[in-house]
Amino acid sequence: MKKLLKYLNDYKKECVLAPLFKMLEACFELFVPLVVASIVDVGIARGDKGYIVSRAGIMVALGLIGLLCSVTAQFFSAKAAVGFSTKLRHVLFNHIESLSFSELDTMGTSTLITRMTNDINQVQNGVNLVLRLFLRSPFIVFGAMVMAFTVNVKAALVFVVTIPLLSVVVFGVMLLSMPMYKKVQAALDQVLGKTRENLTGVRVIRAFHREEQETQEFMEMNASLNGLQRFVGKFSALMNPLTLIIINMAIVILLYVGGYQVNSGIITQGEVIALVNYMSQILVELVKLANLIITVTKAVACGNRIEQILEVESSMADGTVNAADSKAKTDSAKIQEDYIVFDHVSMCYSGAKEPSLEDITLRVKKGQTIGIIGGTGSGKTSLVHLLPRFYDISSGHLTIDGVEVSDYQIDSLRKRIGIVMQKAVLFTGTIRENLLWGNENATDAELYEALKNAQALNVVEGKALGLDEPVEQGGRNFSGGQRQRLTIARALVRKPEILILDDSASALDYATDAELRRSIREMEGDTTVFIVSQRTASIHAADQILVLDDGRAVGVGTHEELLESCEVYREIYDSQYRKEEE
């Protein structure tokens, strides 16, 4: 939680002023018992009504000043708390966006979402309350003690004993319940996960008529959340009764001590009332505090969860070479020849037992088309994900333009690469906004060209608003094939130097797929293309085909060469064409 506090820096002024005005308000409140004591000791003792009226006037004035201070304080604290949470959300969102694929894989989406939403709301509440009351309350408590000393030192000693006792109870309950609140939030994560899952997987769940079991599972998670909440609730509910006992015992003792002091003529009856009043003020303050402490404890638990995410550093250090600069070098003949080089590359996902890629060697000339084929789980996707440095290699060398991929500035590297992922996802917005992801400066003509090359022209033309047709979340108002073609167009808009098509034609019929490949081949510029596919038809015209099996390269060559030399490739080919030859 501590590290989060730096995001309050922009609100230093507010963070000082809010408690300050609260304290001012409290000060004026602390004078009230003294005024009352003087009413008893002076006004009543002398029977002086004028004196009582003037004192009452002072009390009203104190109240009015208190009101002004308090409103000011509320404004500053609201400003600081809301500003803080806004900043925090920004920082957290930014941080999540900077995490590398490995971290995203291990954390999971739903917990990130709760942390961004629910947890930050709790922290905002916490900060707001702390600014308003956490300083006010101790101030009143200690202020009451100081005032008690001005009345009578011996009686004030009762305060000296009471206050530490109270702090032990208050902070004890707070510290002990903190880990429990953490557990509550974790249970909430689960409930969120289940809800989300049932929304994203609704078709499968209904097709397998799993509604009842899912509801059952949800109810169990919900119940365990409920159980945890109630358990923490029972524990934190101890605070109020305990403080009540301590304070009232203190009042009893105060009456005793006061009695002796009055008996020996050291203090007056009015002063005993003032002492009891001060003790009551502490009680009132603590009751308020106790309710708030629950909120604050929760806020701290949530804050820690946010901090946890912020502490996850991207395991990938950014490089220093600007890929745009190194582009110039590409012209030298040597680099043309060895444009992209995989040199004994191995790769192992974090936490995995076995490497997903082992000892891959491949030399790619600029402008070549590379086909990558292999069985399910053979490492095709892992291989192409190394180029934009989504993951780091664990051994060997991978160079583009003669520079290690890890030496590039990641952004500049990725700008040169257009990738179409297996899962075709579009984002909320319009078709145009989605396409502009590839290149924000693209003109409409360029967009249409990319659409044409991606065989997606009819998708746009079929829409009433054309490029401005809205896209709903995940692109679900488009069919799978339409989405896929739009994601291809998105990559093409970039006019990438390296184009990666990761099984991106799976939802396309063969005619469209063939058209797509033809137009990519005919695109201007010297684009180096990586095509990952299951279909030999999609890659058989490639300049080089890499055959993967279980993370190892079992063949490299052209279609004809591989048919001769590579058994795995032949098998794949036969599986697709045998029937035809019969």
310-369: contacts with another protein (CB under 8 A): 349, 352-354
Q: How far is the CB of 500 from another protein (least distance, A)?
A: 9
State which of residues 165, 174, 176, 291 lies at the interface with another protein (CB under 8 A). 291
36 binds another protein (CB under 8 A): yes
* Rounded Cα distance, 434 and 420, in Å: 13
First to last CA, the chain: 70
CA dihedral over 326, 330, 332, 335, signed as positive or negative: positive
**579 in contact with another protein (CB under 8 A):** yes
CA distance 373 to 379: 9
Q: How far apart are CA 74 and CA 132, in angstroms?
A: 7
- Whose tokens are 């922290």? That residue is 123
Q: Which of 5, 16, 53, 153 binds another protein (CB under 8 A)?
A: 53
- Could you give the residue ranges of the DSSP H alpha helices within 312-430? 323-326, 333-337, 380-386, 410-415
Q: Give least dist CB 138 to another protein, A.
A: 19
d(CA 59, CA 54): 9
Q: Rule CB under 8 A: is residue 374 a binding residue for another protein? A: yes
CB nearer another protein, residue 363 or residue 552: 552
Residues 232-271 touching another protein, rule: CB under 8 A, are 233-234, 237-238, 240-242, 244-245, 248-249, 251-252, 255-256, 258-260, 262-265, 268-270
Residue listed under structure tokens 């279909």: 535
Residue of 1, 20, 27, 40 that binds another protein (CB under 8 A): 40
Q: Helices 510-521 and 480-493: crossing angle, nearest 10°?
A: 0
Q: Does 582 bind another protein (CB under 8 A)?
A: no
Nearest distance from C-beta of residue 363 to another protein, angstroms: 24
Query: What distances in angstroms separate CA 271 from CA 73, 160, 258, 266, 321, one per listed residue?
Result: 32, 18, 9, 10, 78
Considering the complex, what minimum distance in angstroms separates the CB of residue 543 from another protein? 14
Q: Would you count residue 126 as binding another protein (CB under 8 A)?
A: no
Residue closer to another protein, measured from CB, 336 or 421 = 421
Indicate whether 220 belongs to the interface with another protein (CB under 8 A).
no
Of these, 8, 23, 30, 101, which contacts another protein (CB under 8 A)?
101
Cβ-in-10-Å burial (0-12, 13-18, 19+) of 293 comes to buried
Site for another protein (CB under 8 A): which residue of 26, 89, 166, 488? 89
Residue with tokens 């939403």: 117
Cα 74 to its chain centre, rounded Å, is: 28
Indicate the Cα dihedral angle 296, 301, 302, 306, nearest 10°: 130
Question: Residue 182 interacts with another protein (CB under 8 A)?
Answer: no
Helices (H), 264-321: 269-311
* Residues in 463-502 at the binding interface with another protein, rule: CB under 8 A: 472-474, 476, 479-482, 485, 490
Shortest Cβ 552–another protein spacing (Å): 15
Q: Using the rule CB under 8 A, which residue among 340, 419, 431, 545 binds another protein?
A: 419
Task: Pick one of 176, 507, 523, 554: the residue that binds another protein (CB under 8 A).
Answer: 507
Return the range that interacts with another protein (CB under 8 A); candidates 80-88, 166-174, 175-183, 361-369.
80-88
How many residues belong to the site for another protein (CB under 8 A)?
185
d(CA 330, CA 111): 44
Nearest to another protein of 71, 175 (CB atom)? 71
Is 250:279 a contact under the CB 8 Å cutoff? yes
Q: Which listed residue (414, 447, 488, 529) binds another protein by CB under 8 A?
A: 414
A 10 A CB-CB count for 88 gives: 22
CB nearer to another protein: pick between 5 and 237: 237
Other residues' Cβ atoms within 10 Å of the Cβ of residue 47: 8
135 part of the interface to another protein, by CB under 8 A: no
Q: Does 552 bind another protein (CB under 8 A)?
A: no
